[in-house]
Amino acid sequence: MALASSDNAVRSSNVARFFIYLVLILFALFYLLPFGIMLVNSLKPLEEITGGNMIALPREWTIAPWLSAWSTAQIGVQPTGLRPYFINSIAMAVPAVAISTIAGALNGYVLTKWHFKGATWIFGLLLFSCFIPFQIVLIPMARILGLLNISGTTYGLILVHVVYGIGFSTLYFRNYYAAFPTELVRAAMIDGAGFFQIFWRIMLPSSGPIIAVCCIWQFTNIWNDFLFGASFASGGSAPMTVALNNLVNSSTGVREYNVHFAGAIMAAAPTLLVYIVAGRYFVRGLMAGSVKG
Amino acid sequence: MGFLDINNVTKSYGAMEVLHKVDIQVQEGEFLVLVGPSGCGKSTLLNMIAGLEGISSGEIAIKDRVVNNVAPSKRNIAMVFQSYALYPNMTVGKNITFGLEMQGTPKSERDAAMADVAKLLQIENLLDRKPGQLSGGQRQRVAMGRALVRNPDVFLFDEPLSNLDAKLRVDMRTEIKKLHQKLGTTIVYVTHDQIEAMTLSTRIAVMYDGYVQQLGTPKEIYDNPANLFVATFMGSPAMNVLNAQLVEMNGALHARIAGSEGQQVNLRIENAPEAYRAYVDREVMFGVRPEAITDPEGADRNARNIQAMTNTVSVTEPAGADTFVSTTLSGRDCIARMRADADVHAGQPFEFAVNMDKAVLFDPKTEDRIA
């Protein structure tokens, strides 16, 4: 009987399965170890770290390093903590993600459902923008930001990230909408819906998974970006990544490792949060198109 | 002038013409079916009527208004798609009224129209569901509801039954026909299924290779096919087409066919059209439908000219209502459709009765009907 034999197959592989899980768990621990050490040390007084024991749990638990990193630590020359820079990063990443995602969705919609001459070329050029190294555009971009009079501001960073993000977001949405039934668009045209009505009422409501994928991707990239942040936003408008660097490199007094660890976790937290909240869509979005919507 | 006029319409993609000078006048209340194999241009023509594809040359007019440059939504047409194309994010009710909403119809009128249509199609209990929660047949109804609610001049159907299973397809076919009889609307319907074409239409346009091969009532198409393509495409099993020679014997024309044992089979033709004269002593294609070859007892009593022929039976296939009998003529399998209880056995000679009233001849070169 097929059922019995498949049952046996499962049982006979139980030993193999045990080892597979053992190895997987070891790998997971290995990867989690740095984060664990960061977390543990961010909750210790500095003396415990300088005393030489990084691995051990704190003898005295404290959230003082976190409070310091957030609001009083020395960033460059100002004792402001990371808070203003965290706000800078939010003010940069949220609009940049939103704008590049919406623009990508519109591009994908036009490229797949409103074919025009040269569409393939334009898509090719947009794709090409995904592969241009950041360093190449630094100087031209600085010039343009200067001309627009937004150099050194959060607006400038938003523009840079939107421009860079459109390539990827277009790629995502184009491929998603290529599998979107064109008959739906045609039905809506016959029903009298216009270009934007079809987009808002028909396309976007069915785009949940790909919007999640696009947002995760853009948010992670934009939040973690250091090069553009360091190049185009100075001083008070620097993003979190640049501020973290300044925190760690501040040369006055003793090196407060516990504060540095707390700051680093703060800088990483939003991307982690985005993955936890929307991560399951990520896999779903990558699989999209295999099943007709 | 008809209700829907398709005047010398062509469609080209670059230098390639895919639809050649199509000319069809559809009267009000007519059910026109465009039928043909895939790639014949039938869906392209339908999309051109809908306004989803441009017209390269010629004119399409609805109610005497040329619509070549009119947007799909302004042509007062409605379309049912093969995939149903229901908006997945909207409820059935929203799906049905979306078109009215886009046209700015007030909500009270929309709801009234939706209630009427839902009642007509018996989908009142589905109005709050999403399309994903419906079965194929229910989706089909909703798609028709979305078309009906707009009260259009012309309904366009693009292979609406192709995605349904066999039984449901037959049921929905009947339902569409009932709906047409009840509402008397003008319908243009695309299908590749010749049975759908025969059962539903008031007129059929058989298309192949971008040409309308023949336009006529189902009976005209079936009994008097214009050419070999129409003859073999329409009907299931297909019309038997045999190589034959047209000869004159005893003052009458005969079709001479090679039998299974090398013997000559001569089938007398009565009331031969004048055109046959030119083909005497020449090769012709002899076409006869399976139901016109029977056992002698099962032959059509109203037939004027039934010719007997004796030939060896190669296979019998009882199909319940009928028995299909294969026999080899002019080197090909020829299928006869007989009563279920005809006394016929494989491997034995049998006397077939051929109803020559229904036989047709084709020119072997042009493949056009000789008449």
Q: Kindly tell me the burial class for residue A14, based on how many C-beta atoms sit within 10 Å of its own C-beta (0-12, 13-18, 19 or more).
A: exposed
Interface test with A, best of B46, B48, B79 (most A CBs within 10 A): B79
Contacts of A191 in chain B (CB under 8 A): 73, 98-99, 102, 146
A residues 162..181 contacting B (CB < 8 A): 181
CB–CB of B77 and A190 under 8 A? yes
Give B336 to chain A, closest Cα distance, Å: 43
Which of B74, B85, B89 is nearest residue A183 as measured by Cβ atoms? B85
Residue A252: the pLDDT is 66
Q: A55-64, A72-81, A90-99 — which is least confidently predicted? A: A72-81
User: In chain B, what are the domain boundaries?
Assistant: 4-227, 240-362
Tell me whether A184 touches chain B (CB under 8 Å): yes
Tell me whether B50 touches chain A (CB under 8 Å): yes
Contacts of B71 in chain A (CB under 8 A): 189
The CATH superfamily holding the domain B4-227 is P-loop containing nucleotide triphosphate hydrolases (3.40.50.300)
- Rounded to two decimals, the ipTM of the complex is 0.79
Encode pLDDT of B283-321 as tens digits. 999 999 999 999 988 888 888 899 999 999 999 999 988
User: Does the pLDDT value for residue A107 go beyond 90?
Assistant: yes
Specify the pTM: 0.79
Q: How many CB pairs below 8 A link A and B?
A: 57
Which of A181, A197, A206 is nearest residue B83 as measured by Cβ atoms? A181
Q: Which fold has domain A83-288?
A: MetI-like fold (1.10.3720)
Residue A289: the pLDDT is 43
Q: A77-81, B335-339, B358-362 — which is least confidently predicted? A: A77-81
User: In chain A, what are the domain boundaries?
Assistant: 83-288
Give the type of residue at B278.
A
Residue A8: the pLDDT is 53
User: Does the pLDDT value for residue A49 go beyond 90?
Assistant: no
Which of A183, A202, A206 is nearest residue B83 as measured by Cβ atoms? A183
Sign of the dihedral defined by the CA atoms of residues A175, A180, A186, A189, in that order: negative
